[in-house]
A = this chain, B = another copy of it.
Amino acid sequence: MKPFEKLVPRLEAIKLINENINPINRVENIPLIEGVGRVLAEDVIADFNVPPFDRSSMDGYAVKAEDTIDANESKPVKLKQIGIYYAGENKEILIEKGQCIEISTGSPIPNGANAVVMVEYTKKIGDFIEIYRKTKQGDNIAPEGEDIKKNEVVLKVGEFLTPGKLGALAAIGKTTLRVFEKPLIGIYSTGTEIVEPGVPLKNSQIYDINSYTINAIVESNGCLPIKKGIILDEVTILANSVLETKNFDLTVFSGGSSVGSKDLLSDIVENYGKIHFHGLQVKPGKPTLFGEIENRPIFGMPGYPTSCLNNSYVFLIPALRKLAHLPPKEDRVVKARLAKSIRSDGGREQFFTVKLNGDTAMPVFKQSGDITSIANADGYFVIPIGVYSVKEDTEVEVILFNH
């Protein structure tokens, strides 16, 4: 059994991950309707002005502004109504001096008109409309191209597609989007004691947890999980799997990266590729490996479910999001008071999981081997290296597990 040579601090590990992960290049075409959460792989340019014509931004009357110069509350101007323009209609009526046309929001402005009077400032009397407020040229008109100009770059490559940005793409009539593919993430659980949920447990066996937690993390961060299942901690089997990693944009192994005698992953990655770090100065999650084989990144996560999942939040998510061209996940942090005193390791930065109850943080961390140490938590706070205990009622900053 070999000890870790040097434990890498969290920020250094994140820097190494960031330096050694490249966003994927593969692109695909998808329908506009499926675009939410995807990332544009091309600049999108408008072929025409939006709106494509001067249009009314109010319900009211299209007028010549100069006809309304003398209008006010006590002395309205009277204009002759010569027609109605509904939105979507394609009429060609010319307004002359002294005339107006009833117009609804979104309707093209009739020829000859240069302003719209809101219906609230008018009164209809037979064929005539009394105008109670002076307008000036352009009032209540959205001019052609106000929203988006022809030949404008509407969205650039790398843009994360929110509902609003999809709206802008709809506005310019895009039906197909060129986006980056979702990165393929291979997921393996290793260990002779691990079996698939559903299979009856024999003595000494436990169910695979990590494939499921990692699968969920991958899916929630813009990547496509490929669950490869459980493989034995045997050298030839593991070596074959490690070489299969070329089929994925990133591969996550869990178990098999600690220093136990059956922990072979690091030897194999070292042999066929390169290790960027092995061993983190964090708790839980010390026995974590990050490396690559043929430029395909590999994570070796601890077998302990809470270690594995906590590390997935802290280290894997940034990797996945960079691969997928996604913006970094922003932490949501709330302040709370610790419900009871706790002890820490002191030698490593500890992620201490808590459940929030109002502004009280209840410790829920039991052991790294217990999935309930994280399943029952709303988030965690960080206990720095060198701190050996945190007293009851201390204010802590809880980083929430993002949903």
A contact set with B: CB distance below 8 Å: 1, 3, 32-33, 35-37, 48, 50-53, 55, 57, 59, 86-90, 104-108, 119-120, 142, 146-148, 160-175, 191-194, 197-198, 201-217, 219-220, 227, 258-262, 303-305, 309, 312, 327, 330, 332, 366-367, 369-372, 374-377, 401, 403
Contact = CB atoms under 8 A, between A and B. Distances in A.
Contact of A206 (B51, B215, B330): B51
B206 A371 contact: no
* 4 closest Cβ pairs, A-B complex: A88-B192, A88-B193, A36-B216, A163-B216
B371 A164 contact: yes
A37 to B, nearest CB: 7
Given A88-B191, A107-B204, A162-B216, 16 more contacts: A32-B197, A37-B220, A50-B371, A59-B259, A89-B204, A104-B262, A105-B303, A106-B191, A147-B366, A164-B376, A166-B212, A166-B216, A167-B209, A170-B213, A171-B207, A332-B332
B374 A146 contact: no
The secondary structure that dominates the A interface is loop
11 contacts: A53-B204, A88-B205, A104-B261, A106-B191, A106-B369, A162-B403, A168-B372, A170-B208, A170-B213, A171-B207, A173-B201
A215 to B, nearest CB: 6
Q: How many copies does the complex hold?
A: 2
B32 A370 contact: no
Given A87-B191, A204-B108, A371 B168 contact: yes
B59 A209 contact: no
A105 B197 contact: no
A193 B56 CA distance: 13
Given A198-B173, A198-B175, A370-B142, A167 B309 contact: yes
Contact of A369 (B35, B142, B161, B327): B142
Contacts of A375: 162, 164-165, 167-168
A53 B205 CA distance: 9
A132 to B, nearest CB: 15
A86 B261 CA distance: 9
Given A148-B372, A260-B59, A367-B146, A170 B90 contact: no
Contacts of A108: 203-204
Contacts of A106: 191, 193, 206, 303, 369
Given A57-B369, A174-B197, A163 B213 contact: yes
A259 B119 CA distance: 10
A64 to B, nearest CB: 21
Contact of A170 (B171, B209, B403): B209
A155 to B, nearest CB: 8
- Of residues A160, A175, A198, A213, which shows the largest number of chain B Cβ atoms within 10 Å of its Cβ? A213
Contacts of A403: 37, 160, 162, 327
Contacts of A163: 212-214, 216-217, 220, 309, 312, 401
Contact of A90 (B204, B208, B212): B204
